[in-house]
Amino acid sequence: MPAIRSAGLRGLRETITSLGGDADHYARLGGLDPAALDADDILMPDLAAATTLELAAADLGCPDLGLRVAEHQDLSLLGPLALAIQNAPTVAEALECTSRYLFLHAPAMRLTLEPDPDGIDGVAALRYDVTAPGVAPPPQGTDLCLGSLHRAIRSLVGDDYDLRSVDLPHPPLAPPATYEAFFSAPVRFDRPSALLRFPSSLRQVRLTGSDELVRQLALDHLAEQSPADAALLAPRVRSTIDQLLGTGAPEITAVARVLSLHPRTLQRRLADEGTSFAEILDAVRASAARRYLVTTDLPLSQVAGLIGLSEQSALTRASRRWWDQTPRAVRRAGVAQGQRLVALGQES
């Protein structure tokens, strides 16, 4: 079970107490050591953290609990990563650093800059995945993480960064107006992913007060904390394919161009790491297919197109190979799992 730093629940005790609840009680119900609510560096199971949020929200009648907790959070909860982000010269480099080292805070979390899902020129999407691929994202946890990300961006570039809209992969837990007041932007529900849409030009904005020496010291520390395989090429190829997947069938030439490598060099280095471009592409497609199947009701033909397959029959063949199930069976099982998680808090 993936572990996350307890800093991710900073502010939960204060929020529950303000609602008249006993934070220690809900922590124990969710399977957490209550000490995790008062420290930043205790490792806690991500499922226990998500369950604690869902139980407290349901029992206290506070459907916007995740957003309320996010109000207590800022970049400092990321520790040394926060120093590297705050001292990056541009927003683009701050996002790249966050994407590269976020796993040190929570291994299952991923931050990906993507083309706008609405296809609008000049708009980019920052997707935030809070669970491992194929795992239904917990609603309160998703609200908390995306709300915290929004506040972090505001702290870097100012309150008004021209946020166009917010996508959430679940129905509204609180009145939509509550979400729109928090984000100061339109919020769309039951979407394929949790993401923020903003002008592409935001990436080029320079951050004031950055200190290159402090940034380098923070990066050196993060590199020391990273596992030995962090320098491998395969994770970078996987991330690049993930970003290109929605634009068509990623080809090795396009991925190699993004990574400033010759295609033959990319293939040779992947072979040295015991994998291949085709294997990584297949794994990314499987992860994306499961995400679309269990978090959306998109037609299967559209899901096939989104993962770069030519037709629905190709998706069916791939699904049987990946999971020994049809796409519809995968969708039914995933939706049922998500419904059980949402209902968990109500059972208390």
Per-residue confidence at 152, pLDDT binned at 50, 70, 90? very high
The alpha carbons of the chain give a radius of gyration, in whole angstroms, of 20
Q: Which residue has the higher pLDDT, 4 or 321?
A: 321
Instruction: Classify 297 as helix, strand or coil.
Output: coil
More confident residue, 23 or 132: 23
Of the spans 196-210, 282-296, 328-342, which averages the highest pLDDT?
196-210
Residue carrying structure tokens 């590199």: 223
Mean pLDDT for the stretch of residues 24-43? 93
* Least confident span in 88-97, 117-126, 218-227: 218-227
Domain ranges of the chain: 65-204, 232-344
Q: What is the pLDDT of residue 221?
A: 84
Question: Is 92 in contact with 204 (CB distance < 8 Å)?
Answer: yes
pLDDT at 121: 92
Give the rounded percent of residues in the chain with a pLDDT score beyond 90: 54
Strand partners, 166: 187, 196
CATH of 232-344, one of 1.10.630.10, 3.40.50.10800, 1.10.10.60, 3.20.20.10: 1.10.10.60
Distance CA 342, CA 224 (A): 38
Task: Say what the alpha-carbon torsion angle 181, 57, 79, 91 is, to the nearest 10 degrees.
Answer: -30
114-130, pLDDT tens digit by residue? 889 898 999 999 999 88
Range with top average pLDDT, 71-85, 98-112, 259-273: 71-85
What is the residue-wise DSSP string for 60-90?
TT-TTHHHHHHTT--GGGGTHHHHHHHT-SB
41 or 230, which is more confident: 41
- With 70 as the cut, is the pLDDT of residue 262 above it? yes
Average pLDDT over residues 105-113: 82
Over the stretch 155-185, which tens digit does the pLDDT of each residue have?
999 888 999 999 999 999 999 999 999 999 9
Q: What is the pTM for the complete model shown?
A: 0.67
**What are the distances in angstroms from CA 105 to CA 2, 102, 228, 233, 242?**
11, 5, 17, 21, 21
Give me the residues paired with residue 44 across strands. 4
Q: Count how many Cα atoms sit within 13 Å of the Cα of residue 278 in the half-sphere of its side chain.
A: 0
- Interatomic CA distance for residues 303 and 313, integer angstroms: 11
237's CB contacts (< 8 A; 6+ apart) are: 255, 259, 266, 270, 277, 280
Give the pLDDT of residue 228.
Answer: 52
